[in-house]
Structure 1
Amino acid sequence: MGPTPGQAPGSDDEGPTVAPPDRVTAERRRRRPTKSGVVLSAEMILDKALELLDEHGAEALTIRRLGAALGADPSAVYRYYRGADDLLLALGDRLIGEALDAFRPDDHEDWADALREFGRCAYRAALHHPRVAVLSTHRVTRRPHEQRAVETGIGLLRRAGFDDATAVRHYHAFIDTVLGHAALDAAVLRLPAGQRAGDAQAWSEAYAELPAEDFPHLHAVRAHLPTMAGPAVEHVMDLLLTALRAQVPG
């Protein structure tokens, strides 16, 4: 279950989920052991939050449950994150960091090839943690990995020769399309195996059996319909990059 507008996942049983900024900033510097003797860190909290989210879904991402899983009082988590929404944004930024770690821009002399690989890395990182992807790909993390990713993507388009305003528009269109497909495919991965198999089978059975007199076009392409069961992100990137190449100035 995703967050409702203005509400973070799991925030319904948290009480106040926002700590004053000055409190968070000051206490992040103070690393105290938990009641079990473990010294918390921002990365340790993210690791446990990711584990809970991957295993149990968004309803598990509450500060109370996270504190219990860490063997710490929930107030200890607030020293590092202002609440469940702040934690979710940090998780989203971690996914972006994974994408950047996998991206090798120097392997591609052509800007479009580099942008394609950039999109692939973003897509794969999102699918690595589909529950996080569904909740975070539509958010703005305001954090270092996202900032570096936007710098990288816009930089590739400026390198191609697009002016500043056009580079921003094209990057927006490209990355939102890739992340939109990532969120869609992540949602598919979250379906029970039986439902996924049934949806995939429908293209080769239910649709292939439609009568030609009522559905002439579907009948004509029935042998190709099973490809509808797979991801479309590669084909979409092909279309976008072909269009972008055609618009390069000069």
Structure 2
Amino acid sequence: MSEPSSPRPARGRPPRLDQARTVETALTLLNDSGLDALTMRRLAEAMGVQAGALYRYFATKGDLLTAMAERMVVGVCAPADGVGGADWSDRLAGLARALRRALLAHRDSARVFAGTHSTGPNTLGFADAGIGVLRDAGFTDADAARALMAMVHFTVGHTLEEQAALRPGDGSPADPDVLREAVASDGYPHLTAALPTLTEPDYEPHFEFGLALLVAGLRALRRPHHR
């Protein structure tokens, strides 16, 4: 589907409004203030236009969020970690890591991305690359599709929790003392033993553990289909 043309600018002056610049401005506002503060009115003010002008490109805020999600995943469909000839599990894990990195580059990105259904080239390219890795490994078409969805849901869900654990504004991890005090006050011996891990501020080991479980499960359940 072709994009609507931009309003014709005065001679020698760039257009004040176009779809790409609107999305970039929305991402800047997202990074500065978070999703809850991102409104169509505030975006219009940042663009120097009337709020109604935005609806030329985005009929609803949901349409804007979908375009933002599409922009976030630029380049994610590139060969996973530069190992195009690696084992399928390494390539799939590389795509998951690339998606997480892309989302972590923007504040509240997982909230924006979750539930959007972009049909743009970045999103479709990522999905096609993931399913291609799995089909080449011998997964059936149906299993490849479901495996990709499981990987995406895990990655987005993990990133959602990771970003929710950050205090707005300063980027510091949530205070782990709250959990420590709650566990100690009521006597939970198993949680007490696991507290060093549960209160670990670095989420990458948690992500890698879950990703390894997902890949191991796919490997165990794989039903090769020779096309």
Secondary structure of 2:181 counterpart: coil
Query: What is the aligned counterpart of 1:206 among 152, 156, 181?
Result: 181
Residue 11 of structure 1 corresponds to which residue in structure 2?
none
Deviations 1:64-95 (A, max 9, x none): 32222112233433333223221110001111
CA contact (8 A) 1:61 1:84 kept: no
Decide whether the 8 Å contact of 1:207 with 1:218 is kept in 2: no
C-alpha distance in structure 1 between counterparts of 2:79 and 2:44, whole Å? 31
Once the two structures are superposed, the pairs formed by residues 1-250 of structure 1 within 5 Å of their partners are 28-33=4-9, 37-39=13-15, 40-100=17-77, 103-104=80-81, 106-191=83-168, 196-198=173-175, 200-202=176-178, 205-206=180-181, 209=184, 214-219=187-192, 221=193, 224-230=194-200, 231=203, 232-249=206-223
2:22 and 2:47 in contact (8 A); partners too? yes
TM-score by length of 1: 0.74
Residue 174 of structure 1: CA displacement?
A: 1.7
Q: Any unmatched runs of 5+ in structure 1? A: 1-20
Over 3 Å counting, the alpha-carbon distance change for 1:141 and 1:149 in structure 2 is same
Q: How far apart are 1:50 and its partner, in Å?
A: 0.8
Deviation, 1:151, is 0.7
Q: Could you say if the C-alpha distance between residues 201 and 210 of structure 1 is closer, same or farther in structure 2, counting changes exceeding 3 Å?
A: same
**C-alpha distance 141-192 of structure 1, shift in aligned 2 (>3 A):** same
| Structure 2: gaps (5+ residues) | none
The number of residue pairs the alignment matches comes to 217
Percent of aligned pairs sharing the same letter: 31
TM-score with structure 2 setting the length: 0.81
